[in-house]
Chains A and B, each alone.
Chain A
Amino acid sequence: QKEVEQNSGPLSVPEGAIASLNCTYSDRGSQSFFWYRQYSGKSPELIMSIYSNGDKEDGRFTAQLNKASQYVSLLIRDSQPSDSATYLCAVNWNFGNEKLTFGTGTRLTIIP
């Protein structure tokens, strides 16, 4: 059973601070890694993808991947109240399709 694990939270972070979200996965053969943001009552929105070890930055977001440790993280710098949402980690371990396995998500609250 291929699994993706996340701390469900809630994680509370003061406005302007760095929010750090973590995810581990069970299969070393995993190919692609994604972070989705989901506001309450809405569908998941893709915010970051990462495919190789190291860091990938996009604006205030940085995704970090360590395949040896089977670990992927998302850092949100200068956290804003609008960042309050559930963040879902997703992993693709297939070649040739986009079937994703999701974690249960971490609920993040930014405190003004």
Chain B
Amino acid sequence: DTGVSQDPRHKITKRGQNVTFRCDPISEHNRLYWYRQTLGQGPEFLTYFQNEAQLEKSRLLSDRFSAERPKGSFSTLEIQRTEQGDSAMYLCAAPGAGTGELFFGEGSRLTVL
């Protein structure tokens, strides 16, 4: 149990459709992170929240991407007008007890046809 639940686990969509991923930390965490991982690469930082405030966004997060954490608990990541290059594993992570530690959820795998 990583303390983070993600939904859906898998999503197959057609190019041009919108998709939304949800992340639910099991316990309260001030900070919550989104990463993207493509095949053969390490996870790449997308954005993070401190409570409901989005404090940092990567340049990878184009204007087709939007993330929210409306009540400082769960978070959503929406991709509009999906492209084949968006195919990846989208990972949500929450801090652990140790300094700098992150624990990842199971991920949401997106396939864009």
Contact = CB atoms under 8 A, between A and B. Distances in A.
Given A46-B101, A92-B100, A98 B42 contact: no
A88 B89 contact: no
Given A43-B91, A43-B106, A102 B43 contact: yes
A42 B106 contact: yes
Interface of B: 2, 31, 33, 40-45, 48, 50, 55-56, 89, 91, 93, 95-96, 98-107
Contacts of B41: 104-105
Interface of A: 4, 8, 31-32, 34, 42-46, 49, 51, 88, 90, 92, 97-105
Contact of B95 (A42, A43, A98): A98
A43 B100 contact: no
A45 B93 CA distance: 11
B54 to A, nearest CB: 13
B31 A98 contact: yes
B98 A99 contact: no
